[in-house]
């Protein structure tokens, strides 16, 4: 029972103090799940992020569900998922009530403009942290997959899901067949 409460409380904090979507939440999720609680290793965390991106739904909810399930089964998945969405749900419910009043607010627009650079920094931080684990030890095959996918992402209109599938296929080919 204590683990379920910890999962709910941890993901409630993550949901309450993370703005800008799931990618902006990744540094806080990593800090809480890997560093603070030790529920997952850094490698397991990266695997869950990969799975969360490859499955339908928001990355934060998928991550909460997978972490909850890994640590406490179905009940853990339920309580972690509820925790991560509860504050956002309540805020959106409340905000929708006042939407017409603040729709054209310059103050709100300026606050949101000020938040954007911080959100980019959070996403960049998550990328650097994930990269440090994904490319340690530095393996030319991993680096090659990363560079190829990044290039395809920016130079083509290939859907990111197909790029994830391509990288999985390359991982199987390069690491499974030729370890």
73 and 1 Cβ atoms separated by less than 8 Å: no
Residues in the chain with pLDDT < 50?
Answer: none
Domain boundaries, the chain: 2-134, 137-179
Give the pLDDT confidence score for residue 19 in this predicted structure.
67
CA distance 2 to 104: 45
Q: What is the pLDDT of residues 95-106, one digit of tens each?
A: 777 766 777 888
What pLDDT is stored for residue 60 in this prediction? 84
Could you report the per-residue pLDDT of 47-77, keeping only the tens digit for each?
A: 888 888 778 878 888 889 999 999 999 999 9
pLDDT at residue 2, rounded to an integer: 94
Least Cα distance to 65 among 31, 28, 33 occurs for 33
Could you tell me the CA-to-CA distances from 80 to 1, 74, 92, 113 in Å, in that order? 13, 10, 19, 31
How many helices and strands (H and E) does the chain possess? Answer: 7, 0
């Amino acid at each position: 029972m204590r683990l379920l409460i910890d999962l709910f409380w941890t993901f409630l904090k993550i949901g309450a103090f993370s703005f800008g979507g799931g990618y902006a939440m990744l540094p806080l999720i990593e800090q809480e799940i890997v560093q603070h609680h030790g529920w997952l290793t850094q490698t397991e965390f990266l695997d869950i992020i990969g799975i969360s991106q490859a499955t339908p739904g928001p990355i934060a909810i998928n991550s909460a569900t997978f972490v909850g399930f890994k640590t406490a089964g179905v009940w853990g998945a339920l309580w972690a998922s509820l925790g991560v969405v509860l504050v956002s749900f309540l805020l959106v419910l409340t905000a929708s009530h006042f939407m017409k009043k603040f729709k054209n607010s310059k103050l709100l627009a300026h606050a949101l403009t000020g938040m954007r650079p911080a959100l980019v920094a959070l996403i960049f931080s998550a990328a650097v942290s994930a990269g440090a684990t994904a490319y340690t030890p530095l393996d030319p095959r991993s680096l090659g997959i990363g560079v190829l996918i990044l290039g395809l992402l920016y130079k083509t209109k290939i859907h990111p899901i197909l790029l994830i599938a391509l990288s999985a296929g390359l991982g199987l080919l390069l690491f499974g067949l030729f370890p």
